[in-house]
Amino acid sequence: MCCLKNIHTNLVSSSFMLFSFHYKTVSADTQKYITSSIFIVNLVFTLVLSLFIDKFKYRTIVIPSNIICLMHALTFQFIIKNETTFIIYYFISNIFSSIENLATFPHILKVFGIDYGVIIFGIYYFGTGLSNYCMNIFVDYILSRYNENETEKYDKAVSYLFYMTSCFTLMSIVFMSFENENSVLS
């Protein structure tokens, strides 16, 4: 569950400039402003969401958030050539990644207690980091096989990548539906 749920948002975040250059969607100057302002947007949303996130159950927050990420993954390749929607989707994916992180830490502490929660959270971030790293290498390998002249094949590869990440998000939603919110140690 933990290794699969952020793969799509990581793909969008890490490939923003790559897709912007390839599709000539967002200019280099605009990219600088966007990548600089994402910190501020995440700061504001994290602050606002942290006030409400503890009042809901984990699955109540994470499953709808991942369903929206699934819709995001399934529609992303259709909007990638439009500057405004591409930028909006980029911000949305980063916000949903923040929601995941905000909701997961208190949930892990609740389930495993404070003694084991930090260890489990470390394993969670190790698994997430490893899966995102492997996904980035895979994306780089797939997209480096096509040059500028093969736009149709490149577009098809990008579509397949987003469909693949949507499958990972769907599997994560299925795993989350079985997530127990009771403490394991009591």
pLDDT of residue 186: 62
| Alpha-carbon gap, residue 63 to 100, rounded angstroms | 10
In-domain check, residue 2:
no
CB 1, CB 169: distance < 8 Å:
no
Q: Which domain holds residue 51?
A: 7-177
Neighbours of 58 (CB within 10 A): 19
pLDDT of residue 3: 66
Report angle CA 131, 96, 12 to the nearest 5 degrees. 55
For the domain that residue 60 is a member of, what is the CATH number? 1.20.1250.20
In-domain check, residue 37:
yes
Among 169, 4, 16, 172, CA closest to 89? 16
Please list the pLDDT of the chain residue by residue as tens digits (186 residues): 666 777 888 888 778 888 888 888 888 888 889 888 988 988 898 888 888 887 888 888 888 888 888 888 888 878 888 889 888 888 888 888 788 778 888 888 888 888 888 888 888 888 778 877 888 888 888 888 887 678 888 888 888 888 888 898 899 888 888 887 788 776
pLDDT of residue 53: 81
Among 80, 84, 45, 85, CA closest to 65? 45
SS3 4: coil
In-domain check, residue 186:
no
In-domain check, residue 184:
no
In-domain check, residue 85:
yes
Q: What does 117-154 look like in DSSP terms, one character per residue?
A: HHHHHHHHHHHHHHHHHHHHHHHHHHHTT--TT-HHHH
Amino acid letter for position 95 = I
Number of domains in the chain: 1
